[in-house]
Structure 1
Amino acid sequence: DPLQALNPFGPYSALQNAMSRDLQRTVALDLCFPFQLQPCLETGLYHAAVVSPIQYARLSKAQRFPVIAVPAGEGEPIVQPALLVVPADSPIQAVEDLRGETVAFGPAPDSRTHYAALDLLAAHGLQKADLRLELLPIPGSLKHLPNAREVVSCVLSGSAAAGFVDEGEWEELPETSGPAGAIGRDMLRVIARTAALPNQLVISSPRLDPQTLECVQSFFIRAGETHPEALQPLRIERFELPSDELLATCRELAVRESRSAAANGGAEALSPTTDSPAQ
C-alpha cells in the first residue's frame, strides 16, 4: 500500500488515541530499526515496542524485556506454525527427501516462513547448502517469495519441490480446486509443521516503572473489548498474555539461527541483510 509506506503509523492512529485517553498521557509513535531496538529500550528512550518473534529473540538477554501482550487476528490463535507443503502427487514424503531440491520460503524477514522454516529443515539434518540454491538475484541464495499464493503457485508449477506457507493463509485457500485453475488445498499435501509462533509481541523497556507497566498491559489485554474499533485497522481481534512456553519458543529462534549460521560458515549465510522495522 503506497499510502501506508508514506505513513506507516496510519493503522496505529486509532489505537494511539485510545491509549492516550485511557492512560491520560500522550502516547507517541516512532519507527525503530533493528539496530536501534535494544539501545532505545535499554535507555528508556522507547517505553515499548511492537516486534516480530525473531527481533525479540535477537535481543541480548531477551528475558530482561518484559513481554506485555501478544496480538491475535480474528478467530485466530495467538500462535501458528508454517506448513511445509508439496504437490498432492509428489513422491516426497518427508523433510529429509528435500536434499538437493529447491524449497520456496516466504519473505526473508518472516519469523515463521523463513526462520522457523530453516529451524525445521535443520532439525531434519538439512542446512542451506543441502538445498538447490538460486542464481538470481544473488548466486547461492534461497528462493524467497512475497506471500503464500506465490509459494503455492511456485510449488504447483514445479519451480520448487516444496514450500512454506503460514497456517492462517493455508486455511484461507479453498478446500477444493475450482474452475479456471483456482488453487485448492486438495492440490497440495502437508508434510511437516514448524514451531508455532505469534505474529508479533509487544515488549517493554526494562526502565518502565512497574505501575505504568501494569497500566499499559491492562490496556492491551482489555483492548479487544473496550476498543475493538481501534484494533480493526491492524487486523487484530484481541491481545493475550504470553505463556512461558511461547516466550521460550521465540527465544529459541536466535539460538538455532546461530547454530545454523555456524553450520553454513557464517551468520550471513542465513540472515537477510535487512529486517522490517519495529514499531
Structure 2
Amino acid sequence: LIGTGVAGASYPARARASAAAATARPDGRFLIRIDATDIGTGARTALWQVAADALGVPPERVEIQIGDSDLPPAGVAGGSMGTSSWSWAVIRACEALRDRLRETPGGVPPDGEVTAEVSTADEVREQPALPRYAYGAHFAEVRVDVDTGEVRVNRMLGVFAAGRVVNPTTARSQLIGGMTMGISMALHEEGVLDERYGDWVNHDLATYHITGCADVERIEAYWLDEQDSELNPAGVKGIGEIGIVGTAAAITNAVHHATGVRIRDLPIRLDKLIGPSPLA
C-alpha cells in the first residue's frame, strides 16, 4: 500500500545573551573568540563566515576559537538558538573592533594588538516581544506491507523558511538530519517503562531503536530566501529542530492515507496497524 502525507511545522526563533571578543593583529589577521560549541552542526564554519562578513575581510584572514570556558561566555548548543545567539555577539564584537581601529592612530601597533569584547545581554533583553518562528512543510510517501504492517518511507521532502542561511552545505545537513530524527520518532523511538521498578526497560541502543541508513531512502531539503529585520543582526533563525517537528506528522498522515488507520500514539508499531486495520 502506498500513501502520501503532509504536515506543517513551526519552531520558535529565539536567542540567548552571549559575549564575544574580536582582535586585530599586526599581520592583518583577526582572531574571534567565543565559548560557542560545535557539536557537528557546522557552527564553527558559520561563525567564521559571519565574522569575515562583519569585518569586511577575506575569510582566510580570520581565525575562530570556540569551545573553551576561558573564552567569552556564550549559551549552549540547543533549542535552535546557537547560531542566532553566537552570531549576534560575533557581529557586535567585530563592529566594536572596527570602531576602535578607526579611533586608533596608525591602526594596529607593530608590536601589539587591538581587541574589542562585547556582550549582547542588554540588547537581547530589550528586544521587542514579537512572534518569531521558523516554518516548514514536510511531505512524505510511505509504503505499508499488507501482511506484516511494516512501514517504510520511500521519500521525504522538507521546504523551510528559516531566515538567512549562512552556509547552505551545513544547513542542508542539519535539515535532513532533523528529518531523519523525525523518521526515527515516527517509526522507531519509544521509551518502555517497567512500572514495577520505575526503570527503563530499553536503556541501550540494542533495545532502543533509532533510524539507520537503511531507513532513509530518499530525503531532500530546500529553503526559501527569507529576510526578517526583527530577528538579530545576522538575520538567522535556528534550524536544529525545525527539520524534526513536522516529519512524524507527515509520515503518520501518509500511513493513514495508505491504510485508513489513524495513529495518534507514536511510534507506529506493527500491532497498531494490524489489529484495527480493515485490511487485517
More helix by share: 1
Q: Same fold (TM over 0.5)?
A: no
Q: TM-score per shorter chain, which class?
A: under 0.3
**Highest relative contact order (Cα 8 Å, sep 6+), 1 or 2?**
1
More strand by share: 2
State the TM-score, normalizing by the size of structure 1: 0.28
